[in-house]
Structure 1
Amino acid sequence: MSLHLALATIEDLPFARELTRVNMRAYYAQYGLIWQPAAFDAEWPLRESYLIRRERCLVGFLGITVEKNYLYVRDIQLIEAYRGEGVGAWAMARIAQMAADRGCERIRLKVFKSNPATALYRRLGYANVGEEAALLWMERLVDPR
């Protein structure tokens, strides 16, 4: 599997917005939330976003921010046809490398409680550190390099 990341630009915003809307719609419905595309768009320039490609095929994107001593995973979205093939684990390994390269101590993320990705995050060493009505807050220490 030949995967790589490419820095996303403002031209990639429509793809990222639509993929997020499609992937998250069931969770938003389950928890009585309303999707707000304008809020997603407003956050886009504040994040470092990457397209995930397999060969020449676009399979998803991820978005991060770096805070004081941690890297925060804002989004990791995969096209449904590419889930369950190791792409998510590969992307999380790239995120861990980014965190180590930047001297971060921790990686943090939030995930809907009913999202199957929670199992992947646990396998990768993420632990629950808090929660909201619909979300788990998870984090792990960055492996020193």
Structure 2
Amino acid sequence: MNGTTAHFRFATKGDIPGILEMIRRLAAYEHAEDEVRATPELLDEWMFERRAAETVVMEAPDAGIVGIAVFFQNFSTWTGTGGMYLEDLYIDEPYRGNGAGRALMAHLAGICKKRGWVRLDWSCLDWNEPSLGFYQRIGAARMDEWVHHRLSGDALEALAAEAV
């Protein structure tokens, strides 16, 4: 499969099992299988009922879902406009390296353009050299001066307890 034969579409509720499988494969690739807490019920609630995220699925003939891009709208105070934050991008190994990833990123860029979003942002693990190289080849600017932070678990609970 290459970028010209890839089929992309927005996910439906019926895609939840395939999306969850792609999430699990991504977690395995990132050596974090034990961290996946998503269930079909949670994906249904947060993706389709609350509409907190959208998913584009990549399908291959006779193979079903072979890739996903999960994203949500973010906002830049500096530009005063919306943008896309790409939470997860995953393509099964047999479909990498032949233009399908570039086609999927181009599809996401097209969604940004159609919606008037001026940026497409994401994070990548610093050890993931194949992906970092791919992002460089498509023209992405590496944002090394920004340090990603996360507050979760007990630290989030403790800080939330201070809320008035």
Match of 2:124 among 111, 116, 121: 111
Q: Is the 8 A contact 2:68 2:90 kept in 1?
A: yes
Query: What is the RMSD computed on CA atoms of the aligned residues?
Result: 2.5
Contact 1:13 1:44 in 2 (8 A): no
Unpaired runs of 5+ residues, structure 1, are 134-145
The corresponding residue for 1:52 is: 58
Question: CA separation in 2, counterparts of 1:125 and 1:23?
Answer: 23
Q: Read off the aligned partner of 1:75 and give its amino acid letter.
A: D
Change (3 A) 1:111 1:43: farther
Identical positions, percent: 24
Query: What is the TM-score normalised by the length of structure 1?
Result: 0.75
Matched, 1:121 2:127: no
The answer as to whether partners of 1:28 and 1:35 remain within 8 angstroms in 2 is no
Deviations 1:104-125 (A, max 9, x none): 1111011222222111111112
Q: Which has the larger radius of gyration?
A: 2
1:16 aligns with 2:19: yes
What number of residue pairs does the alignment pair up? Answer: 131
Q: 1:28 Cα deviation (Å)?
A: 3.4
Structure 1 segments (4+ residues) deviating >6 Å: none
State the distance in 2 between where 1:123 and 1:23 align: 21
